[in-house]
Amino acid sequence: MRLKLILKQGKANQTIPINYQYAISSFIYHSIESSNSQYSKWLHEKGFASGNKKFKLFTFSKLNIPKRNIENSSIRILSDEITLLIDLVTEKTIEHFVSGIFLNTAMRIFNKVSEAEFQIIFVETVSEPLFMERMIFRTLSPIVLSKKVNGFNTPYYLNPCDEDYQFYFSRNLEEKFIAYNLNLNKSLNSGYNESAVKSLRILNTPRSNLITIKEGSREETKIRGFEYSFEIQAQPELIRLGYETGFGINNSLGFGCVGANSLLE
């Protein structure tokens, strides 16, 4: 399910860090925790697992800020209202998140140099597109894929132009599909087969985006993703899951959210 949150500034012309993704991810976990702390802890620490792969199965878009100024490492928000899209795939996650935001209707985005508070004034569901075997999407937040090179722990972030990009794109989506179905005791017979992503075609020049997570802390991490439009051919159930949970990795940190061409965001 895709939810659209309309957020109103607590006061005019607030600033938020450019790297705000971790703050929004924390807000989602905190909202779920307000409804059910045990489920929030399970989702954060374990999630939907298949072998050694663990997935949170939610994602969110970049903030839609109609009027803004970039000031050093901050964004000054000149719009009274901004919007955020959040995708949640399982009934429990949806239930606890929605319950949580009605208990706590404020979102704080901050770091060591800037802080802002927003009131959640409206929440609505966004209609999904009709999922078919061939679809065109555009990124609403960067898609991230990585691999290890020569045994080094530091990931190599894949560029959509890399020869093996489609392989990792496909494998990640299939692993999510397996984890989702295994944890919900659903059959894998429908919608899954080997190399289920038949084709992936990049439709424009990808734009690189380097985002810092936990900026200024010991756990600071830099993640590189790419924004682009693409055509995918795959099983409709796989495409739906990618749309609802995010394509690529690090989805719960706000990566891999997409919009379909036929969908009015």
Contacts of 9 (CB under 8 A, 6+ apart): 77, 79, 80, 81, 82, 116, 118
The more confident residue out of 182 and 116 is: 116
Q: What is the pLDDT of residue 27?
A: 95
The more confident residue out of 72 and 32 is: 32
Q: Kindly indicate the confidence band of residue 253, based on its pLDDT and cuts at 50, 70 and 90.
A: very high
CA distance 14 to 215: 19
Ranges 96-100, 101-105, 189-193, 257-261: which has the least confidence = 189-193
Averaged pLDDT for residues 241-252: 96
3-class DSSP assignment, residue 165: helix
Q: Which of 126, 119, 121 minimizes the C-alpha distance to 88?
A: 126
CB 8 within 8 A of CB 118: yes
Averaged pLDDT for residues 206-218: 93
Give the pTM.
0.92
Q: Which of 83, 82, 111, 85 minimizes the C-alpha distance to 16?
A: 111
Read off the pLDDT of residues 152-172 as tens digits, 9 standing for 90 and up: 678 899 999 999 999 999 999
Domains of the chain and any CATH numbers: 2-126 (3.30.70.1890), 134-260 (3.30.70.1900)
Ranges 50-54, 93-97, 177-181, 190-194: which has the least confidence = 190-194
